[in-house]
Amino acid sequence: MKLDSRQLRYFVAVAEELHFGRAAERLHMSQPPLSQQIRQLEAQLGVQLFQRGPRGVQLLPAGEVLLTQAHIIHAELERTVELVQSMARGDRGLLRLGYTAASAFTLLPSLIRAFKKRHPYVEVVLMELLSSEQAEALAQQRLDMGLLRPFRHHAELCRQTLLQEPMILALPADHPLAALSQVQVSQLQGQPLIGFTSTEARYLQELVDDMLTAAGVQPRVAQRATQPHTMLSLVSSGLGVAIVPQAAAQAPVKGVVYRTLQTRGVAPMATMQLAWRANDERPLLRNFLEIARTVTASAPNSVAAPAVPSV
């Protein structure tokens, strides 16, 4: 047999009102069709649900059981509708978010906190990857969005610039240049440098090299590393100085101090972007992008930039 939601709605109205006339008014229908529907329901179930009398009706034991189950069914239907609508709004679901180590200092926590406050039922899975690895993972649909440095060769991806931050100097606390409040880039001539690798951290490596070249400084690279926190550990050991994004200073490292760098021209800025697949138009992603724009709009060194295809 088939028991549809309309029959249950009719039954619940009669069971709660215990009067066919009042139930019919509640359902905005006439009484005869309602009585007919209830008799059809009883015939289909093969049980009597109501004891009918001149002053109304009474629920029989079978009717009491059906009323209890009908309430459960209606509650589950309402929950199902809400789940479906919530998914359509982007208020539920799974977001696989890539991030770089540098973004974890300040940007990532701010974004996750703001996003979870607005969308608490979205599960966010975080994956720490290099920028190049994130771009590949996005293209291969292993990530949904990524916080990364500018990248190349992925025209199917879109990107939104979130933040631009200055590059600063990290040096041992007992270094002679630590006595200065600001350091000219030209003063780094001859200093041992902890640099970024040219493969895994190509964007930052080129940014630092361009800054040094513009100041006429020939770098004396003592060691190269991929992640800022590794570079800061090497600085702490006295191996050399390092030029890192300003966010790196948010992770205190014993024996390391930070100084502003002065350049002759416009100081280069390290860019952090949010990237996603151009054909992924899920509301969940739009919601995260909206939060990211809002959070970074009021942040220091933030910039407003349109989302554009990667080149």
Fold match between domain 5-89 and domain 163-269: no
* CATH tag, 5-89: 1.10.10.10
Does the domain made of 103-161+274-309 have the CATH classification 3.40.50.300?
Answer: no
278 within 8 A of 156, measured Cβ to Cβ: yes
* CATH tag, 163-269: 3.40.190.290
Q: Distances from the Cα of 21 to the Cαs of 18, 32, 54, 224, in angstroms?
A: 9, 9, 12, 85
What gap in Å lies between CA 165 and CA 167, rounded to an integer? 7
pLDDT digit string, tens, across residues 191-225 = 999 999 988 889 999 999 999 999 999 888 999 99
List the chain domain ranges. Answer: 5-89, 103-161+274-309, 163-269
User: Per-residue pLDDT averaged across 270-286, rounded?
Assistant: 93
193 within 8 A of 187, measured Cβ to Cβ: no
What pLDDT is recorded for position 306?
A: 37
User: Per-residue pLDDT averaged across 288-292, rounded?
Assistant: 95
What pLDDT is recorded for position 113?
A: 95
Q: Bridge-partner residues for 170, per DSSP?
A: 242, 258
| pLDDT over 90, % of the chain | 70
